[in-house]
Amino acid sequence: MGKPVPVAMAQGSSCWGCFQSLVDMHLKLADVLPLLDIKYWQAVVDFKLKDLEGYPDKSIAVGFYEGMARTEEDIHLLKVMREKCSTLIAFGSCSCFGGIPGMANFSTIEECYDAKFRHNKTVNGGEVPTKNVPPIAEVVKPNTDYVEFDVYLPGCPPTSKLILTAVTSLLEGKPMDLPPHAVCHYCKREKKETPISEVLRPYVGQADPKRCLLEQGYICLGSCTWRLCEGPCVNKGATCRGCFGPVPPIMRDHGAASISMLGTYAPMEPDKLVAQVKDPLGTFYRFDYATSHLGRIRIKREDMKKEEHHD
Amino acid sequence: MMGDKVEPRIGVFVCHCGHNIAGVVDVAAVAKMAMSLPYVVFSTDYMFMCADAGQQLIRDKIKELNLNRVVVASCSPRMHEPTFRRVVEESGLNRYLFDQVNLREQVSWCHMRQPKEATEKAMDLVRMSVARAAQLQSLPIKSVNVTPRTLVVGGGIAGLRASLDIAERGFEVVLVERLPELGGHVRKWTHLFPADESGAQIIGPLVKDVEKHRSIKVMQNSEVVEFGGYVGNFTAKIKNHETGRTKSVDVGAVIMATGFEPFRPFGYYGYGESPDIITLAELQELPPRADLLRPSDGKKVNKLAFIGCVGSREAGKQGHEHCSRHCCSAVAKAASDLKDKVGEVMILYQDIRTYGRGHEELYRLARSKFVIYSRFPKDSKPDVQVTANGITMRWYDVLSGDYLEFEPDLLVLASAMVPPGDIAETAKMFGLTRSADGFFNPEHIKLAPLTTHTAGVMIAGAAQAAKNASESVVDASGAAAKAVSLMARGQVEIESTVSHVIPELCSSCRTCVTACPYGAISMDKSREPAVALVTEAKCHGCGTCAAACPSNAIIMYHSTDDQIMAMVEAFLCTPAQVEGGTA
């Protein structure tokens, strides 16, 4: 092993779960940590933003950006990371596709403020904070709108095993060979090509442990979702929610693919199907609304509004 | 797949179609708008794009301005896509770099009274087409060999005619008939119109010619039990019901002459309650005798009655809405023939439609022989009672305005032509679609009347719709000509607009196998795990699989996701609004 490799870890708007997953390597950390020369990691090592800004461009070998970028600070941090890191990793599904926070785009910013601050159920006379907080964007734009990434490591969160594989190969300078294919590819359940007559909520009935969950009526996004997770949910009896996003080429429309897929499995009256699928946006676009075609249109509309104000 | 990475240079040609489009749509405004679109280097409107001068204009502009994409906004692609594809090909462009916008059927004809909105729609469609054109890619032109043999399914008058026509042009025919005898319905009929010949007289020589022809292999008592393949290269498994043996034949084309079934009108006018109430088909099949005898007791019929439109022309009743077309003339012919043998003939009708050449003359002949025609109202059908004393009919006669009664010895119901009972299975086996009346759909009722949406499979005769024997043989000769022209070419170009599975991306979920309506996708077991594989010649390019594929492993050539998204975006976001977007 040579000299420790300079790395930087940055967090945008997110839950820190991806870094938690990194830490979840447990004893493997003992192998990995000595190889890292951590140059920046908010709340873990004591570097400030100005330190990161002060490094020479591309002087950091590998950067991890976790979360999406909605505040001005996030966007600034993301851009600085791009400048300073020679390899930048979109770390986790928020960073790749907008993730769970991307679902904020279902609502306008004012509606978000209402829910979070003004009419928050646990607060009386709530107000939108204005002091000591960075300005926030009207709409969640995917990180890829601001910078280009070299590697996408999706997942909510990426599994510890995947992180270990990725980190090891990156630090050793080897090309990272992530297999394509969807979760189904490695799901052990049996498929019989039978149409479903009813869409079931996850809590209804008891699923046959040996048969494809989708063919039993439970909406499983395994066939649309990148298999980097290696299928733990489906093989343990839970449907795939699609947290690893679309299969390569990964910037395709995951939600649209899953909706069209469902039509093939459920040849029922459209009205019936629509009535049975509760919360279609949240079901099919849970992790990647911001990068979907539908989400794009939402973003464009917000941009158009802004232009009208300027005119 | 060729790259076509060069910057698109799009030419837009908006056709007036004489007054057809220009009479409603402001074509000049559409052409002017097109000029402002991205990558458009030329745009114009012109009187007839399909005329020689219009075609030349396209060729000239391609050459002069180095166009590498062409959009023609004119009629339906079903009409002139082949024309314009040829034109761009003659100018050295790949045919798939052409896109057609339908401003006629889908705009001017259907929005005739809203010129302003029609023009807006035309602009939307052109804008979408231009956006798509910029994304179009060259595709290879592929062709396959055609097996010089045709399968004719059904040995009735249409099947016989088609078989003979093909064989006489020097190609082989396999003729499959389910029954032990050739000749279909016509063979059994005694009153064939308009000429004074019986069915047997017509069919006899035809059957003889077919049976002795060296190029025709007749398989009676047989049925097609399995059918697969693609244009020029079909394989049919044919089972002989007597021997139980199955034989497999390779053919390049198929003619479906599966005909019809006479509707058995239980629940109508006492049918089934008395042996003396029969259908027209059953009357035709009575053994020819000097006298017309009653089936119940063999006594001579003196009073004969017919009722028309039995199970036909019933608005709102699925499978019985159509006019069965042959019955009015057939009833007129049978009635005038039989008037010589019986005392009185009464025809109850709703309307009379003796539309063919020589048919009206039959109606006049019947009238001149004093066959009585009495019209009943559409909403008040005759009442037929069967008692121990015989049959009593009571109805309202429209012309006299009075209720009338008649007690016929024999009542003949002119029942509808309906598709054979197993037509749904036949349609599935041969990949054919059916129209509301239940018969097979032609590819296009006017532009491609004898071919179907399954390339290489033709339809003839009553398999397509209710029609009479003379119309059926015209179809048969036409379908035979189609089959012969396919076989004579020896090779046939197949569309490159097919879907393709990228094996590395396929997740073996089998969604596409379920989705494909043409059975064109199977699992390639030579790979581990097996991945989906498209048999291109079977693919119709409908795109269902590409839309359904959850892992984006399927490309639908010529309708790629990018092309479709470009169109959607062009529709939703006009160019000015796209400015400042994030794409």
Mean pLDDT on A104-128: 92
Beta-carbon separation of A307 and B513 below 8 A:
no
Strand partners, A90: A65, A152
Mean pLDDT on B175-181: 96
CB contacts, 8 Å: A264 with chain B: 511-512, 514-515, 544, 548
More confident position, B194 or B255: B255
Which of B506, B568, B582 is closest, CB to CB, to A141? B582
Beta-carbon separation of A264 and B548 below 8 A:
yes
Residue B579 has pLDDT above 50, yes or no: no
- How far is the C-alpha of A188 from the C-alpha of A196, rounded, in Å? 20
> Which residues does B133 contact at the CB level (< 8 Å), separation at least 6?
B8, B10, B39, B69, B70, B71, B97, B99
CB contacts, 8 Å: A263 with chain B: 548
pLDDT confidence band for B3 (50 / 70 / 90): very low
Strand partners, B11: B42, B70
Size of interface A-B (CB pairs under 8 A): 93
The predicted structure's pLDDT at residue B575: 57
Give Cα separations from A79 to A65, A71, A144, A148, B9 (angstroms): 10, 13, 11, 10, 36
pLDDT confidence band for A306 (50 / 70 / 90): confident
Taking the CA of residue A257 and the nearest CA in chain B, the distance in Å comes to 5
> Which residues does A94 contact at the CB level (< 8 Å), separation at least 6?
A12, A13, A14, A18, A66, A67, A68, A100, A101, A102, A156
Residue B577 has pLDDT above 70, yes or no: no
CB contacts, 8 Å: A299 with chain B: 581-582
> Which residues does B150 contact at the CB level (< 8 Å), separation at least 6?
B166, B171, B172, B173, B174, B251, B252, B253, B254, B255, B480, B483, B487
Taking the CA of residue A237 and the nearest CA in chain B, the distance in Å comes to 18
Beta-carbon separation of A260 and B578 below 8 A:
no
Which 63-92 residues of chain B touch chain A by CB within 8 A?
A: none
CB–CB of A240/A234 below 8 Å? yes
A297 close contact with B: CB closer than 8 A: yes
B402 close contact with A: CB closer than 8 A: no
CB contacts, 8 Å: B583 with chain A: 296, 300
Residue A188 is encoded by which pair of tokens?
A: 């052990």
In chain B the domains, ranked by start, together with CATH numbers, are 1-141 (3.40.50), 149-260+419-492 (3.50.50.60), 263-417 (3.50.50.60)
Taking the CA of residue B509 and the nearest CA in chain A, the distance in Å comes to 6
Beta-carbon separation of A141 and B549 below 8 A:
no
Beta-carbon separation of B510 and A141 below 8 A:
no
Residue B191 has pLDDT above 90, yes or no: no
Q: What is the DSSP string of B153-210?
A: E--SHHHHHHHHHHHHTT-EEEEE-SSSSSSTTGGG-S-BTTTTB-HHHHHHHHHHHH
Instruction: Search chain B and give the residue with CA nearest A284.
Output: B550
Backbone phi and psi for residue A276, each to the nearest 5 degrees, phi listed first: -85, -25
Which of A184, A265, A306 is closest, CB to CB, to B508? A184
Tens digit of pLDDT for each residue in B14-65? Answer: 999 999 999 999 999 999 999 999 999 999 999 999 999 999 999 999 999 9
